[in-house]
Amino acid sequence: MTDPVRLTAELVRCPSVTPEEGGALVLLEEQLTDAGFECTRVDRGGIANLFARWGEQGHVQTFGFNGHTDVVPVGDAAAWTKPPFGAEIHDGILYGRGATDMKSGVAAFAAAAIDFVRDTPPDGAVILAITGDEEADALDGTTALLDYMDQANERMSVCLVGEPTCPNHMGEMIKIGRRGSMTAWFTITGVQGHSAYPHRAKNPLPAMARLMDRLASHELDQGTDHFDASTLAVVTIDASNPATNVIPAQCSATVNIRFNDTHTGASLSDWLRSEAARVAEEFDVEADVRIKISGESFLTPPGALSDLVAKAVEAETGVSPELSTTGGTSDARFIKSHCPVVEFGLVGRTMHQVDESVEVAQIEQLKAIYMRILADYFA
């Protein structure tokens, strides 16, 4: 049997800080090829990605896994009590950058897929789509894999993303959707002047304060059946003005919005621009708005896929998982246009932290859950 703990440790020892491959995908490709998977590197834009398929191409019934081997930077290495890439195990806990997010998840589904196709070859195909670009801009990661699949006539019938999904204990949460995410940068330009003669200037600061207040105090919605209420956070306001006797010519601010399926990125962009134009006219200043939509909200309605995963989770953990759309973004936001997708993984309490770690027992349990999902899907 393929040991997911050993594989997790081997992956953690690969220093794959985005965009470095670090040897992680090379290691996975070797193991998957030995197990009979047909592997293809789908590198793009300096990012390493791996596509692996066991079974016939274009088969009607194809189960897919998605995950990433890139990790965030270590940060202050001196603050770590264990080597960030040492994969040391102490008292049943494996330490290292990526131990939680999400080399353990990749190791668990790779080990499950290898053992499943060896022991009970299914009447169908199993696909693993693993990227090295999830923690950064995600421009050349899972999107590159999906582009390759479209061109190569490859398709997943359903997909499970192995991100950490459980807040506190194993089995408590499955993600069936995610909120959308977008950021807007505002610049208001007035006329610089002496603070003793404000009538000779056009102060951008009161205009920006009014705009930020309008945006922050506006209720976007009250939530939907599967989503919490959308949120807008003002994350910075800056005039870069050290002088107390000068009215600056320019002020900038940034907001971040996490939105549910009441909205689209386009509809919120229109609202932000209209509010900025309204304030600019009111204060006789100029307003510029730049917007980046990181992902739209999406939902895989409760049904066959979530039932399949929930049944396996409960069978292995004794916990009936909650179906949730909470949290940040994930690569599921790209996959949702390709096929139905849900997310399930282990407890994510330490992800991105100093001394990131995972319980060894959770890795083994996660592999067992993935094995059961595959067995039930192809039954």
Per-residue pLDDT tens for 347-359?
Answer: 999 999 999 999 9
Rg (CA), the chain: 24
Pairwise CA distance, residues 356 & 348, whole Å? 9
Per-residue pLDDT band at 370 (split at 50, 70, 90): very high
Residue 210, pLDDT > 80, answer yes
pLDDT tens-digit series, residues 18-77: 999 999 999 999 999 999 999 999 999 999 999 999 999 877 799 999 999 999 999 999
156 and 201 co-located in one domain: no
User: Of 295, 329, 359, which residue is a domain's last?
Assistant: 295
119 and 143 co-located in one domain: yes
Which residue bears the tokens 């202050």?
76
Pairwise CA distance, residues 70 & 204, whole Å? 42
pLDDT at 327: 87
Over range 95-102, report the average pLDDT.
98
Per-residue pLDDT band at 218 (split at 50, 70, 90): very high
Residue (of 4, 140, 116) closest to 68 by Cα position = 140
Which residue bears the tokens 């050349």?
140
Residue 233's domain is classified under what CATH number?
3.30.70.360
Residue 111, pLDDT > 80, answer yes
Residue (of 343, 370, 333, 294) closest to 142 by Cα position = 333
Residue 7, pLDDT > 90, answer yes
Residue 114, pLDDT > 80, answer yes
pLDDT at 339: 97
Over range 132-139, report the average pLDDT.
93
Q: Residue 95's domain spans which residues?
A: 4-178+297-377
Pairwise CA distance, residues 3 & 300, whole Å? 32
pLDDT tens-digit series, residues 12-35: 999 999 999 999 999 999 999 999
195 and 169 co-located in one domain: no
pLDDT at 282: 98
Residue 32's domain is classified under what CATH number?
3.40.630.10
pLDDT at 67: 98
pLDDT at 291: 98
- Give percent of the chain with pLDDT exceeding 90: 98
Residue 257, phi then psi, degrees to nearest 5: -120, 130
Specify whether 261 is catalytic: no
Residue 133, pLDDT > 80, answer yes
Secondary structure of the chain in the HEC alphabet?
CCCHHHHHHHHHCCCCECCCCCCHHHHHHHHHHHCCCEEEECCECCECEEEEEECCCCCCCEEEEEEECCECCCCCHHHCCCCCCCCCEECCEEECCCHHHHHHHHHHHHHHHHHHHHHCCCCCEEEEEEECCCCCCCCCCHHHHHHHHHHCCCCCCEEEECCCCECCCCCCEEECEECEEEEEEEEEECECEECCCHHHCECHHHHHHHHHHHHHHCCCCCCCCCCCCCEEEEEEEECCCCCCCEECCEEEEEEEEEECCCCCHHHHHHHHHHHHHHHHHHHCCEEEEEEEEEECCEECCCCHHHHHHHHHHHHHHCCCCEEECCCCCCCHHHHCCCCCEEECCCECCCCCCCCCEEEHHHHHHHHHHHHHHHHHHCC
8 Å CB contact between 331 and 68: yes
Per-residue pLDDT band at 263 (split at 50, 70, 90): very high
8 Å CB contact between 349 and 355: no
Predicted TM-score (pTM) of the model is: 0.90
Residue 338, pLDDT > 90, answer yes
Specify whether 134 is catalytic: yes
For residue 354, give the amino acid letter.
Answer: V
pLDDT at 39: 98
pLDDT at 175: 98
Domain count of the fold of the chain: 2
Residue (of 58, 65, 75, 78) closest to 17 by Cα position = 75
Instruction: Indicate which residue of 10, 29, 101, 134 is catalytic.
Output: 134
pLDDT at 58: 76
User: Of 295, 320, 351, which residue is a domain's last?
Assistant: 295
Per-residue pLDDT band at 124 (split at 50, 70, 90): very high
pLDDT tens-digit series, residues 146-179: 999 999 999 999 999 999 999 999 999 999 999 9
pLDDT at 75: 95
Which residue bears the tokens 């196709």?
117
User: Of 295, 326, 360, which residue is a domain's last?
Assistant: 295
281 and 317 co-located in one domain: no
37 and 186 co-located in one domain: no
Residue (of 318, 295, 304) closest to 365 by Cα position = 318
209 and 249 co-located in one domain: yes
Give Cα separations from 145 to 180, 181, 307 (angstroms).
21, 22, 27
131 and 192 co-located in one domain: no
pLDDT at 107: 98
207 and 172 co-located in one domain: no
Averaged pLDDT of the chain: 97
Over range 293-321, report the average pLDDT.
97
What's the maximum distance between 2 C-alpha atoms anywhere in the chain? Answer: 82
pLDDT at 328: 85
